[in-house]
């Protein structure tokens, strides 16, 4: 496809981490996913994060985006192939938070209209794709063409990190710039 998402481990690091993952037991594994990037994410996240992966029919996911009026770019298609139907839950203080790339939940979320996405892209000055939702407030999880992951909600935009894996780690650990722009 010609599009590569940033944030992947090198092969040696992956092999070392895979050995650690096997030692965590089967409760950390989800047989529905053999997607390498999700395995890498499982390794990199604290044990307190709960990852759930549902089966993904990529063609159906892309069809649903198209039917809702979104352009399915090569980058969006690759993102869905790698991270689609992933839900990450974590606790911070007394609160439990969630980020999901569920196609159904993304397309039914508060900010999910192609018109809204076009307005957001115009405000940002670059194209973005809706790839999920986060938190109880259903912040839109946006993928920029440079690989950055942004959140958008009523208060504005927040840049989380470059690369989805890095963004999930940042959200779970709380190590990201929470300022709005």
Give the pLDDT band (50/70/90) at residue 43: confident
What's the pLDDT score for residue 32? 40
Q: What is the pLDDT of residue 20?
A: 38
What the chain holds in terms of domains, given with CATH numbers, is 11-173 (3.40.1580)
Question: What is the predicted pLDDT for the residue at 132?
Answer: 97
pLDDT (mean) for 153-172: 92
With a CB cutoff of 8 Å and minimum separation 6, the contacts of 127 are: 73, 121, 144, 145
According to DSSP, the β-strands at 148-153 and 156-162 are: antiparallel
Distance CA 128, CA 78 (A): 14
Inform me whether the pLDDT recorded for 31 exceeds 50: no
Is residue 21 over pLDDT 80? no
Q: How far apart are CA 102 and CA 159, in angstroms?
A: 21
- Averaged pLDDT for residues 48-69: 94
Whole-model pTM: value is: 0.77
As a whole number, the mean pLDDT across the chain is: 82
Give me the mean pLDDT over the 170-175 stretch. 88
Which is higher by pLDDT, 21 or 116? 116
Q: Is the pLDDT of residue 86 over 60?
A: yes
- What's the pLDDT score for residue 34? 59
Tokens of 52: 């759930």
Indicate the range of 16-25, 46-55, 111-120 predicted with least confidence.
16-25
Residue 135 dihedral angles phi and psi, to the nearest 5°? 70, 170
120 token code pair? 């957001």
Answer yes or no: is pLDDT of 146 > 50.
Answer: yes
Q: Which residues pair with 153 in a beta bridge?
A: 156
**Could you tell me the pLDDT band of residue 72, with boundaries at 50, 70 and 90?**
very high
**Is residue 38 within 8 Å of 8, Cβ to Cβ?**
no
User: What is the Cα 93 distance to its own chain's centre?
Assistant: 22
* Nearest CA-CA partner of 120 in 132, 111, 133: 111
């Amino acid at each position: 496809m010609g599009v590569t998402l940033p944030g992947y481990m090198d092969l040696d690091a992956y092999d070392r981490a895979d050995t650690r993952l096997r030692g965590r037991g089967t409760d950390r594994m989800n047989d529905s996913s053999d997607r390498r990037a999700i395995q890498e994410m499982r390794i990199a996240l604290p044990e307190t994060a709960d990852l759930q992966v549902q089966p993904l029919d990529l063609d159906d996911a892309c069809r649903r985006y198209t039917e809702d009026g979104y352009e399915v770019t090569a980058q969006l298609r690759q993102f869905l192939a790698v991270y689609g139907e992933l839900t990450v839950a974590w606790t911070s203080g007394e609160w439990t938070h969630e980020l999901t790339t569920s196609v159904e939940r993304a397309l039914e979320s508060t900010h999910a209209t192609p018109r809204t996405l076009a307005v957001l892209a115009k405000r940002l000055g670059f194209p973005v794709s809706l790839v999920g939702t986060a938190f109880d407030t259903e912040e839109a999880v946006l993928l920029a063409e440079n690989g950055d992951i942004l959140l958008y909600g009523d208060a504005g935009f927040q840049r989380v990190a470059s690369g989805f894996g890095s963004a999930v780690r940042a959200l779970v650990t709380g190590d990201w710039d929470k300022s709005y722009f």
